Amino acid sequence: GGCPGHALGRGNTTRGEGPACPALGGNASVQNMHLTIPRWPTISAGEVLQGGALTTDSGRALVGVAVNGVPLVHSPQEALDLDAMDNCAGYTDTTSSWYEYPTAPSSLLEELGVTVPANTSWWLLGDPGAVWPSAGSPSPLVGWALDGFPVYGPYDEHGDLMLNSTSAGSAATAPLERCNGKVVNGTWRYHVTPDSWSLLPCLVGAELGRVAEDQVECVACSRGGIETTYYSSIAAAQAAGADLHGVDCFDDAYDGPLFLFPYPDPRLDTRCFIVSSTVLGAIFLVLTLVAGGMLVDLRFGRTQAERHRTIQFQVLLGLVLMVTSFRAIFLLADPYRAHRIVPAPLIAYAYGVSYPALNTATVLLFFLLYETVRSIRELRIHGHGFLPRTKTLFLVVCVLEFGVQLFTDTARLVGASWPILLVCQFFFAVWGLAVAFAFTYWTLPLLAALQEFHALHLIRFLVVGFVSSVGFGVLLVATSIFFICTQMAPTGMSRHDWCAFYTVVRVAEILQCSALMVSCISRSSRVMRRLSSQTHSKSITSKADNNTPLERDVEIARIQAGYGPKADEEGKGSSS
DSSP line for 322-349? HHHHHHHHHHHTSGGGSS--S-HHHHHH
Given pLDDT bands bounded at 50, 70 and 90, which one contains residue 394?
very high
Contact partners, residue 513, CB within 8 Å, separation at least 6: 284, 287, 291, 320, 323, 324, 358
- Considering 396-410, 418-432, 443-457, the range whose residues carry the highest mean pLDDT is 396-410
The values of phi and psi at residue 143, to 5°, are 180, -165
Per-residue pLDDT, averaged over 185-191, amounts to 86
CB 207 within 8 A of CB 38: yes
Give the pLDDT confidence score for residue 289 in this predicted structure: 95
Q: Which of these, 523, 576, 520, lies nearest to 297 by C-alpha position?
A: 520
d(Cα 257, Cα 334) in Å, to the nearest integer? 20
Pick from 119, 122, 120, 115: nearest CA to 138: 115
Provide the pLDDT for residue 332.
92
Q: What are phi and psi of 184, to 5 degrees?
A: -130, 120
Is the confidence at residue 17, as pLDDT, over 60? no
Mean pLDDT lowest among 328-337, 400-409, 433-442? 433-442
pLDDT average, residue stretch 158-177: 62
Q: Which long-range contacts (CB under 8 A, 24 or more apart) does 435-444 make?
A: 435/359, 435/362, 435/363, 435/473, 436/470, 436/473, 436/474, 436/477, 439/362, 439/366, 439/466, 439/470, 440/470, 442/366, 442/370, 443/366, 443/369, 443/467
* Mean pLDDT of all residues in 35-50: 71
Beta strands 14-15 and 187-191, pairing class: unpaired
Amino acid sitting at position 402: F
Average pLDDT over residues 216-225: 53
What is the number of helices (H) and of strands (E) in the chain?
15, 11
Neighbouring C-alpha atoms within 13 Å toward the C-beta of 56:
25
Please, how many CA atoms are within 13 Å of residue 170, restricted to the half-sphere of its CB?
Answer: 26
What are the residue ranges spanned by the domains of the chain?
A: 1-255, 271-531, 533-570
CB atoms within 10 A of CB 329: 19
Measured at the CA of 574, the angle between CA 573 and CA 576, to 5 degrees, comes to: 145
- C-alpha dihedral, 395 to 516 to 522 to 449, nearest 10°: -70
Q: pLDDT-derived band of residue 43, with 50, 70 and 90 as boundaries?
A: confident
Q: Is 117 helix (H, G, I), strand (E, B) or coil?
A: coil
Q: Where are the beta strands (DSSP E) in 159-302?
A: 181-184, 187-191, 210-214
SS3 407: helix
Given the DSSP bridges, would you call strands 141-145 and 150-152 parallel, antiparallel or unpaired? Answer: antiparallel
Min mean pLDDT across 70-79, 379-388, 398-407, 461-470 is at 379-388
Report the first-to-last Cα separation within the chain, whole angstroms. Answer: 77
Given a contact cutoff of 8 angstroms between Cβ atoms, the answer to whether 6 and 111 are in contact is yes
Mean pLDDT of 417-429: 75
Contact yes or no for 376/557 (Cβ under 8 A):
yes
Which of 81-95, 220-234, 253-267, 549-563 reaches the highest mean pLDDT?
81-95
More confident residue, 103 or 393: 393
Cα separation, 560 vs 550, in Å, equals 15
Residue 247: the pLDDT is 37
Residue 396's pLDDT is: 93
- Using the CB atoms, write b or e for 387-397: b if 16+ within 10 Å: beebeeebeeb
**CA–CA separation, 327 vs 535, rounded Å?**
47
Instruction: State yes or no: pLDDT of 167 exceeds 80.
Output: no
pTM of the full structure: 0.54
Percent of residues, the chain, with pLDDT higher than 90:
11
What's at 481, amino acid-wise? I
Enter the DSSP assignment of 161: B
Q: Which of 231, 232, 228 is nearest to 249 (CA)?
A: 228
Q: Is the pLDDT of residue 290 over 90?
A: yes
Cα–Cα distance list, 458 to 7, 558, 572 (Å): 57, 10, 18
* Mean predicted confidence (pLDDT) in 544-558: 43
Backbone angles phi, psi at 212, to 5 degrees: -115, 105
Amino acid at 575: S
Residues 85, 68, 253, CA angle at the centre, nearest 5°?
A: 65
Q: Average pLDDT of 94-102?
A: 71
Highest-confidence range of 36-50, 283-297, 536-550, by mean pLDDT?
283-297
pLDDT (0 to 100) of residue 454: 56
Closest alpha carbon to 531 in 391, 312, 382, 388: 382
CATH of domain 271-531: 1.20.1070.10
| Euclidean distance between CA atoms 294 and 282, whole angstroms | 19
Minimal CA–CA distance to 355: which of 299, 422, 429?
429
- CA torsion angle 186 192 198 200 (round to 10): 30
Pairing of strands 61-66, 71-74: antiparallel
Which range of 118-127, 432-441, 485-494 scores highest in mean pLDDT? It is: 432-441
Cα dihedral 283→284→287→289 (10° resolution): -100
Across all residues in the chain, what is the average pLDDT? 70
What value does the CA radius of gyration of the chain take, rounded to a whole number of Å? Answer: 33
